[in-house]
Amino acid sequence: MTDTPAPTGRQAILRAARRAFALHPYAEVTLRGIAADAEVSASLIVKLFGTKEELFARTTDFSADADELLDAPLDGLGRHLVLTLVRTRRQRRTDPLLRVVFALGTEDERTLLRDRFREQVTTRLAALLPGDDPLLRAELVVGQLLGLGAAASIHREDGAIGEASPERLADLYAPGLQRLLDGA
């Protein structure tokens, strides 16, 4: 996790927005608060993302991340998933999927986050899979990916995952993913 560039204003805003919507009820979140956290002006947020509602919709959208994660042939998808997830975490200092876990255990508007995730990530992946029980296997693949991000975060940058190369992580973690994808 060295040599990571500072996030751009756009990335800093998205990160601050995800944090704000994860930690506080929608009604309590303000663009002013997000701007302060992102160290930008509120007017820059409005210029880049529009209203609070539009920013919320953007933070609950996983389709661009799913595009990148799923951009490989099925027979190499396990490895591509690990490499893409790890590189995205390191380059952008954010996990492409993990924000969905902050929606666990709540029953308010964050239900939207789970529903979007299922539709944009899990169901889309399941449609690519041959063999039996594609939805079950897709849910388990998604779980294994969420777990990689969670383990990297819990064990921090000085943990063994943080110190390992993306290729080494793919060597260890991708075979289990590929097995689920293949339905062997």
**Rule CB under 8 A: which residues touch a copy of itself?**
19, 22, 98, 100-105, 114, 117-118, 122, 133, 135-140, 142-156, 159-161, 163-164, 168-169, 172-173, 175-177, 179-180
Would you say 67 or 119 has its CB closer to a copy of itself? 119
The nearest distance, CB 46 to a copy of itself, in angstroms, is 25
The nearest distance, CB 50 to a copy of itself, in angstroms, is 25
Would you say 41 or 102 has its CB closer to a copy of itself? 102
> Cα–Cα distance between 35 and 58 in angstroms, integer?
16
Would you say 25 or 50 has its CB closer to a copy of itself? 25
Would you say 54 or 163 has its CB closer to a copy of itself? 163
The nearest distance, CB 4 to a copy of itself, in angstroms, is 17
Would you say 28 or 54 has its CB closer to a copy of itself? 28
The nearest distance, CB 59 to a copy of itself, in angstroms, is 14
Would you say 35 or 95 has its CB closer to a copy of itself? 95
Q: Is 100 exposed, middle or buried (0-12, 13-18, 19+ CB in 10 A)?
A: buried
The nearest distance, CB 24 to a copy of itself, in angstroms, is 10
The nearest distance, CB 6 to a copy of itself, in angstroms, is 18
For the chain, the three-class secondary structure string (H helix, E strand, C coil) is CCCCCCCCHHHHHHHHHHHHHHHCCHHHCCHHHHHHHHCCCHHHHHHHHCCHHHHHHHHCCCHHHHHHHCCCCHHHHHHHHHHHHHHHHHHHCCCCCHHHHHHCCCCCCCHHHHHHHHHHHHHHHHCCCCCCCHHHHHHHHHHHHHHHHHHHHHCCCCCHHHHCCHHHHHHHHHHHHHHHHHCC
